[in-house]
Amino acid sequence: MPLLRVTRITFAADRVAAAVPVFEARSRTIADEPGCLAIAYGQLAERPTSAVAVSVWSDEPSHAAHELTPSYALFAEAVSEGALLAEPPIIEIFEAPVFRC
């Protein structure tokens, strides 16, 4: 069954300009990972510190493999070292019995 991963992101107010390109690039990388069926990243225009990334995975094993990729670890390190977030992201995983693209 496909999985829907919703990640709510709050950027540090003084790091938005540095954070956005990192998250946009990461989204493009995720799009090419095996099992990623779709991904979208966006920000609230009226509140640029708030963003969301939504990805759809073909199944649990492909999502689990995503979290073990070297690029995932490098991304997490870059976010931490750059102090890009105001708080830890909120990540929710949903079963997605209906997915159509």
- Give pLDDT tens digits for 10-52: 999 999 999 999 999 999 999 999 999 999 999 999 999 999 9
Give the pLDDT band (50/70/90) at residue 101.
confident
Domain segments of the chain as ranges: 3-95
d(CA 88, CA 101): 30
Place of tokens 């709510």: 8
Angle between helices 16-31 and 70-81 (to 10 degrees): 170
Amino acid at residue number 78: A
- Structural tokens at position 59: 């199944």
Higher pLDDT pick, 74 / 32:
32
pLDDT at 91 over 90: yes
Please provide the CATH number assigned to the domain covering 3-95.
Answer: 3.30.70.100
- Which pair of tokens denotes residue 13? 């107010």
